[in-house]
Amino acid sequence: MQTISPAFKSVIQPNLTAKNARYSQINGKRVSVRCGYRSESFSFPNGVGSSRADWQSSCAILASKVVSAENSSSITGGLADQVAVVNGHSNGSVDLSLVPSKSQHNGKPGLIQPLTITDLSPAPSHGSTLRVAYQGVPGAYSEAAAGKAYPNSEAIPCDQFDVAFQAVELWIADRAVLPVENSLGGSIHRNYDLLLRHRLHIVGEVQIPVHHCLLALPGVRTDCITRVISHPQALAQTEGSLNKLTPKAAIEAFHDTAAAAEYIAANNLHDTAAVASARAAELYGLQILADGIQDDAGNVTRFLMLARDPIIPRTDRPFKTSIVFAAQEHKGTSVLFKVLSAFAFRNISLTKIESRPHQNCPVRVVGDENVGTSKHFEYTFYVDFEASMAEARAQNALAEVQEYTSFLRVLGSYPMDMTPWSTLPSEDV
């Protein structure tokens, strides 16, 4: 019997211990599960090969031991047997047991909870509904972006951006839709760093207008609000409106807009309001005190669609290409001028330039016997340009860029989002 490869073994380290109940869909029924992981080694009947087919098969038969959120008793009948078979493979080395969930929210079945870094579930069967990971909880703007990018897909909420990347890499999800920049708040640096750290490919983009609402429990008046909570960017984008609507309320940052609405509903807070979407109000039983409270109507967030495999670039529609590179050693940022010239000479328009600290060498020290030493910061550069990698001019431009860089990576060549902007709520677009 062959043992698991080192690359795959790093995925299932002994420190994986799930603490939170999660929800899973089994034969159309919602069940609450708690995942527990042991540190024993796993091996597969056919071993783990280097081909994509072997990797997919091995990932598919990896499953976690699932125990009840209420007790450790297993349910009888075919439910456990169905869960123990993933993509047609019998999971003999791992025992699975599930119990129905009793969790409710306002008398309704509980919403799907975000995946955490400790969650690992079997991959979906081939031919099943496309599964799309996003960061946040149901009602978040990222969920609306996932629905626009992949209609009729199954949205998988994740509690962190990194978890969404890993969900696709581990075949838990088929795609991920994550924000990279906002027209008012600027770039989301965390996701730029994760694009370089992970090996996913950009296969598309989608732009979502941000339509903020002020939400509170039913019956609560605006003059009764003493506190407003939301994501820091949402609070900044509605500062003017909040000063008029709730001038005496304290403003507090929360990690997510929809999670702020969920927090108010779960704790029955009659003195607190949240800045979130209209869908969040619907999901968590809140009323909309004020609609469209964003200070700027041109508030749009750009999301990237990520997949394990790239798409084939084409020339029959507008395409955009995203790259990341670092300057050659000791060349510094002077290389940037030469890189930009490579695109300018070929009439290729750039739509984005972003610099981030070089992870492996953030500072370069230059010594001089006469004047001492100087310290220079080193950067990696992210560039988006309007051209397809199927075009000769794009290929020639990157060939020239490669001469000036220590590394160059194409993150993706993908269709541009050409849908017109609208100030309507994102769920109505």
pLDDT tens sequence across 194-209: 999 999 999 999 999 9
What is the predicted pLDDT for the residue at 79? 34
Q: How far apart are CA 38 and CA 365, in angstroms?
A: 46
What is the 8-class DSSP label of residue 103?
Answer: -
Q: How confident is the model at residue 86 (pLDDT cuts 50, 70, 90)?
A: very low
Q: Is the pLDDT of residue 239 over 80?
A: yes
Q: How confident is the model at residue 62 (pLDDT cuts 50, 70, 90)?
A: very low
Q: Is the pLDDT of residue 165 over 90?
A: yes
Between β-strands 319-327 and 272-276, what pairing exists: parallel, antiparallel or unpaired?
unpaired
Mean pLDDT value across residues 110-121: 60
- The CA-based dihedral angle spanning residues 107, 109, 114, 118, taken in that order and rounded to the nearest 10 degrees: 110
- Taking CA atoms, 384 is separated from 108, 119, 333, 409, in Å, by 45, 33, 18, 12
Long-range contacts, stretch 74-83, CB < 8 angstroms, 24+ apart: 74/98, 74/99, 75/99, 75/100, 79/26, 79/27, 82/26, 82/27, 83/26, 83/122
Q: Is the pLDDT of residue 173 over 90?
A: yes
Active site (annotated) includes residue 303: yes
- Residue 375 is encoded by which pair of tokens? 């310290």
Between β-strands 175-182 and 201-209, what pairing exists: parallel, antiparallel or unpaired?
unpaired
What is the predicted pLDDT for the residue at 109? 57
> How many CA atoms lie within 13 Å of 223's alpha carbon, on the beta-carbon side?
0
161, 165, 303, 385: which one is catalytic?
303
238, 246, 257, 301: which one is catalytic?
301
Q: Is the pLDDT of residue 254 over 90?
A: yes
Q: How far apart are CA 419 and CA 429, in angstroms?
A: 10
Q: Is the pLDDT of residue 361 over 50?
A: yes
Q: How confident is the model at residue 186 (pLDDT cuts 50, 70, 90)?
A: confident
Q: How far apart are CA 397 and CA 341, in angstroms?
A: 9
- Residue 166 is encoded by which pair of tokens? 């890993």
Q: Is the pLDDT of residue 276 over 90?
A: yes
Give the amino acid at 377: F
Q: Is the pLDDT of residue 362 over 80?
A: no
Q: What is the helix (H) or strand (E) element at residue 166, kind and residue range?
A: helix 161-169
Q: How far apart are CA 263 and CA 125, in angstroms?
A: 34
Rg from Cα positions in the chain: 24
CA 160 to chain centre: 7
CA 155 to chain centre: 11
Q: How confident is the model at residue 120 (pLDDT cuts 50, 70, 90)?
A: very low
Question: Backbone phi, then psi, for 275, in 5-degree steps?
Answer: -100, 115
Mean pLDDT value across residues 244-248: 92
Q: How confident is the model at residue 357 (pLDDT cuts 50, 70, 90)?
A: confident
Q: Is the pLDDT of residue 153 over 80?
A: yes
